[in-house]
Structures are given as structure tokens and as C-alpha cells.
Amino acid sequence: MVSRYLSRNGTYGSGTAPADPPPDIRSLLWDMLRQIPRGSVTTYGALAESLGDRAAARAVGSLLSENPTPPDPPCHRVVYADGRTGWYKGKGKGAEEKISLLRDEGVDVIDGRVDLKDHIFRDFDTVPVLQSLMAEQVTLSENIVYDGGPLPDTLSAIDVSYRGDTAYAARVDFSFQDGSELGQGRARTTVAFPYIPGYLSFREAEAMEPLLVDDGRLHVIDGNGILHPRGAGIACHLGRGGHRTMGAAKSLLTGELSGSSIILDGEERGRKVGKYFVSVGNLVDLSQAEEALSRMLEMGVDPCRRAHSEATRFKKSV
């Protein structure tokens, strides 16, 4: 849903209201595993494709390694695309146990491989939820506002640290005038959505949203804005309710670096500032995003690093 709001400087813009909670990927995946018949196997890629995005195959493997109650659901029935059986119960573990379970179910395993043409199962009855999330990102990208007026007096950097599925988010506030630290905020949340590259927003937004301040300040988010395969990273998600946001990522998720510009689909989507890759979230243009972080770094203040340190400190204190 798109809403309109009045910013502190009196200019109007539009933002997308927060969406419903993300789907429970783990439960969907466990249900899919239970659909694989005895004597059959599937692949990580087939599971990811049924969820809506084959690129999530590595994330599927990570989730299966977290299965708390094997062999139910039967994650031993998942193999690599070339038939290799791989590990069981975590990286480097249980290879022989996995082979034994498969053989007990009538699956031929020769030299650590399964002949997929004789045993493959792909007919999952599930919902391709990642397709829906991709569509949500595309819609959000079409509603980004690039004009929020002059840069405000306050900048807040937000980052999150994890222990398991518990997220420890921290916000550190700074003055744009002299770089002095003005205050902090913290929020702890249990998140259910797993880490899947390209879908970070659906994992971290829930943890960061409580720290957003509705006073027109600029929020620097650890992650991407429009520098994203579908044009809407976490900084865009956090800006959809009318907050001014920009992304500052530590690594380049997508696009090609040309000088200080980052080009994606023939457009400049971001710029490199110091060791960060900055991009628009909402209610700020790219030149302002670059200026905001550059100004802080020139004053000897790295707001992103401070937020990261505070999030880590928060986690360790609990």
C-alpha cells in the first residue's frame, strides 16, 4: 500500500506502508521434505526453485544443516545437482550416515553419487513465496522518492548483530555540524526469516524498524538501497513508511564499479565512499547520500562502524 506523508521540511512524498510479516520459509521447507517419497531424492536447487528462486539453493542447504530433528523431516533425501550425496547434519559431517539412510530406503549410491534419473523427485505441492517477495521488491522500487529536501541536522546509523535467530540492533545518532555523538538506541528481536542473499530486508527490517526516528533525520542503514538486483534493498524497505534512508554496504552485492560510480542495468545506482558502497533508500538523492557519509568520514567519524560496534556490544552484554 502506498501512503502520502508530510516531511519535517514541508515537502510531500510517498512511501509504501510496512508489509505483512515474511513467510515462514523453514516450515515450508520442512513440509516439502516430507513430500519426498522413500526411495527418492531431490536437489537443493529443486527445493529453491519450488520456493520461487533457484538462486536460493545455497541458503536451502544452510537451512537443512539446521534441521533439529533428523531424520524427520528427511533432509538426507536432498543431494547435489550432480548426484553427490554430500554431508548430513552440518558441514563436513555425517556423509556415511546419509549414504546408509538412503541405501536403507532403496536408493542406489555408487561412489558417493545417486543416479538422479532413477530417483529424482520434483513435484512439490508448495507456494513459490520468493516470487511474491521479489514482486514486492519491484513494486517498492517503483515508489522510491529521491527528493526529501536539504540534508537534516542529524544522521543516525543502524546496524544489527546476530546470535542464532536473535537480532541485536543498535542505532547511533550524530550531529551533521561537528560529528558529535548525540545518543543511541537498541532493540532486540527474534527473527524467523533465514539469511537468503537478495532478501536481507525480510530478515533484518523487523529488527531495525523499532529504531527508526520519525523526525526527518537521515538514517544510514547497513545494507543496500536501490543498489539491489530488484532495485529495493533494506534501506528502501525501512524508508517506505516515510523515513529518510540511505544504504551503506560493506561489500558490492551487484553492479560494476566504474571509477567511484556503481553501474547496474546501464544506470548509476550507487557510489563508493571510502570502503562503503552507498545508495538511495528513500527521500534522498545519490549525491546527498554520498555527501552525507563523506562529510562524516572527513570529520573522522565512521557512523557505520560505530553502529556495528554498538550492535556487537549490545549482543555481548546480554
| Angle subtended at Cα 64 by Cα 61 and Cα 188, rounded to the nearest 5 degrees | 100
- Whether this model's pTM surpasses 0.95: no
Asked if residue 237 lies in contact with residue 201, where contact means CB atoms within 8 angstroms, the answer is yes
- How many other C-beta atoms are found inside a 10 Å radius of the C-beta of residue 80? 16
Best CATH choice for the domain 2-21+144-317 from the list 1.10.510.10, 3.30.2170.10, 3.40.50.850, 3.40.50.300: 3.30.2170.10
Q: Are 268 and 243 in contact (CB under 8 A)?
A: no
Q: How many CB atoms lie within 10 A of CB 181?
A: 12
Place of cell 527473527: 191
Start-end of CATH 3.30.2170.10 domains in the chain: 2-21+144-317
Query: Is 98 within 8 Å of 76 (Cβ atoms)?
Result: yes
What is the Cα–Cα distance from 169 to 34, expressed in whole angstroms?
Answer: 35
- What pLDDT score was predicted for residue 14? 34
Per-residue exposure over 43-64, b if at least 16 CB sit within 10 Å of its own CB, e if not: bbbbbbbbbbbebbbebbbebb
Q: pLDDT per residue over 107-134, tens digit each?
A: 999 999 999 999 999 999 999 999 999 9
For the chain, give every residue range classified as CATH 1.10.10.10.
Answer: 25-119
The three cell numbers of residue 5 are 506523508
The edge-to-edge listing of strands for the beta sheet with 256-258 is 181-190, 166-175, 154-163, 218-221, 244-249, 276-282, 267-273, 261-264, 256-258
pLDDT score, position 3: 32
Query: What does the block give as the cell for 35?
Result: 513430500
189 in Cβ contact with 205 (< 8 Å): no
For 25-78, how does the pLDDT look when each residue is reduced to its tens digit (9 = 90+)?
A: 999 999 999 999 999 999 999 999 999 999 999 999 999 998 999 999 999 999
Tell me the catalytic residues: 75
- Position 22 scores a pLDDT of 81
- The type of residue at 117 is K
* Helix %, strand %, coil % of the chain (to 5): 35, 25, 40
Instruction: Kindly report, residue by residue over 82-109, the tens digit of the pLDDT.
Output: 999 998 877 778 899 999 999 999 999 9
Encode pLDDT of 198-252 as tens digits: 999 999 999 999 999 999 999 999 999 999 999 999 999 999 989 999 999 999 9
pLDDT at 304: 98
CATH 1.10.10.200 is held by the domain 25-119: no
Q: In sequence order, what are the residues at sequence separation of 6 or more whose Cβ sits closer than 8 angstroms to the Cβ of residue 45?
A: 54, 57, 81
Block residue for cell numbers 529495493? 232
CA 209 to chain centre: 14
The span from the CA of 218 to the CA of 171, in Å, is 12
